[in-house]
Structure 1
Amino acid sequence: MQLDPQGVAPDDLSHAGSVVDKAIEYMIEQKIAPISVASALLGGALGLLARTMDDQAIGAVLRNALASVESGELREMRDQLPGGNAPV
């Protein structure tokens, strides 16, 4: 596994993201509520982190995610979706 030039993301991150996107698409097609999809994915991600990282590293990942929310980065992503910032 090779890291990106900034030393943050593994080179297979794009592939993993595509697989997750397909899983989300499938669950939405199955009429699973978006909050249930997101909760299941978050729970799975936290479980994987717990099995592969120490608490300090998990905290850093979560702080980075929170910083994305607080900076408006996720809002910008939502605003670029068809329909603007309407909730799913």
Structure 2
Amino acid sequence: MQFDPQGVAPEDLSHAGSVVDKAIEYMIEQGIAPISIASALLGGALGMLSRSMDDRAVAGVLRSALSSVEAGELAEMRRAAGEPPHAANL
């Protein structure tokens, strides 16, 4: 895996994404609740990040993800997929 420190995605990101998508499909077919799937994936992702980055870098990744949510990028993805908006759970 080649990672560009300038922020360009690694060459194998698409492949990894496809594998994760298939795992999600499988878990849905098995009747696993979406929140359980998401929690397990997030926990696994944090574990993977912690093995390859220091805490400060992991926090930066999380801040970037939070900024995307706050900027409405997830809502836009839902709209593009034709999914209904979700009520705030805050």
Q: Shorter-chain TM-score: which interval?
A: 0.7 to 0.9
Specify the alignment match of 1:54 in structure 2. Answer: 54
TM-score, normalised via structure 1 length: 0.86
Structure 1 counterpart of 2:43, one-letter code: G
Shift of 1:82: 4.1
Q: Which has the higher contact order (CA 8 A, sep 6+)?
A: 1
Q: What is the distance in 1 between the residues matched to 2:50 and 2:63?
A: 15
- 2:33 — aligned with what? 33
CA distance in 2, matches of 1:2, 1:46: 20
Counterpart-to-counterpart distance in 2, 1:7 and 1:65: 14
Q: Percent identity?
A: 72
Read off the aligned partner of 1:38 and give its amino acid letter: A
Q: Deviations over 1:10-39 (max 9, x none)?
A: 111011000000000100011100000000
**1:20 maps to amino acid:** V
Shift of 1:49: 0.8
SS in 2 for 1:11: coil
What is the match of residue 19 of structure 2?
Answer: 19
CA distance in 1, matches of 2:70, 2:22: 27
Query: Which ranges in structure 2 are unaligned for 5 or more consecutive residues?
Result: none
Superposed CA offset, 1:40-82 (max 9, x none): 0000000111111101110111011001100000111111224
Which residue in the other structure is 2:72 paired with?
72
